[in-house]
Structure 1
Amino acid sequence: MTLDAAGRAQRARGQDLLDRLAEPYRHEEDLGRSTMFGSTGLNHLGSIVGFVGLEGQLVVKLDPAGLRDVRTAGPTVPVHIGRGIAKAWIGLPFGGDPDTARRWSEALAAGVSAARASVTA
């Protein structure tokens, strides 16, 4: 998919927000940054936790409780992989307001917690 100038700008704004939200995690030994679909995402032990999708949305992998919490807290979009919907992944639209930053921060923290729990389970 090729993005037009507006799409590239929206994705850049989403990436900027994700970069700011990922900053506090930079000293965590089990967390790092890596690229996923052209976005520099946050990973846990090499597995992506969250990244910015083509439309500027935060795409985050959550456990069932995290998915439920994120869906009830505000707007979400399904994440498509191939022709299907990825059940463990959810998209949070970019809104450019303080509520977006709060929701993204909470979802990213939930994604990190879910990733860590999956290793210890």
Structure 2
Amino acid sequence: MLAKIHSIAVVGVEGIPITVEVDIANGLPSFTTVGLPDGSVRESKDRVKSAVINSGYKFPSRRITVNLAPGDLKKEGTAFDLPIALGLLAAGEIIPQQSLDHYAIVGELSLDGSVRPVRGTLPIA
């Protein structure tokens, strides 16, 4: 299943719309992030997995691909944790994607599933 979540990247003093696409497919269990992620965005897979499990949900043992579009813009920081986690839950049909379609979602996740603030919220607003 595929889910699309709206998010925003901060570039300088500007907020750039980002689409977070999460696909859960049959195959060997893996978690791949594409779309020019920096190191902290690539590390989100560990925060997201722990947050999902510690929030009481089952983490899928399937092939997970996360695409951060547009692909030509470097994505930095931890603000994509929450949209990736919600995309994962929507792609797994645990939550309805329609409930997220009208929001731009940003937030860092702690390992227990709580949401932490992120830098750059003024350009995001």
Both structures adopt the same fold (TM-score exceeding 0.5) = no
Relative contact order, CA 8 A, sep 6+: which one is greater? 2
Q: Which has the higher helix share?
A: 1
